[in-house]
Structure 1
Amino acid sequence: MNKYDLFNQIVLNNGNVRLSPISSKDEAENLVFLAHQLEREGKISLLEFCIEKDPIAVSLKTKLIIKSN
């Protein structure tokens, strides 16, 4: 999953996402890394994340950041 797809999942699920099944621990860690990138870009505030072990899954609790012009 790329950063754009992850952001779309976050938007579609009102900030709370559980991604499963994940094929590897590395893929799970990459999803958390992408969430941190979205946070640094000012698109989300990452409130909480969890990497579950069996089956491998990633849960993200976020808040969308709405920028006004």
Structure 2
Amino acid sequence: MKEAGTIDRDAVAAALDHAKIAEGPGGPAEMAPGKRHCRMNMYIGVAKGGQYEIVARSAGLVDPKEC
């Protein structure tokens, strides 16, 4: 909303098309223009005794695939 300068839905959505964060809980993330979803790192974990072990991770940001 700061970048859009308004709370108008379409203006905020347009501003989100190029939003990025360098550090998040799973690493960096960025919006996929026109999709309103974000590219982010993907992890596969296995639960063992109440803890999670990461067994695979993506080599970079993964595009969203809508079903």
TM-score by length of 2: 0.29
Highest Rg: 1 or 2? 2
TM-score normalised by the chain length of structure 1 = 0.29
In terms of fraction of residues, the more helix-rich structure is 1
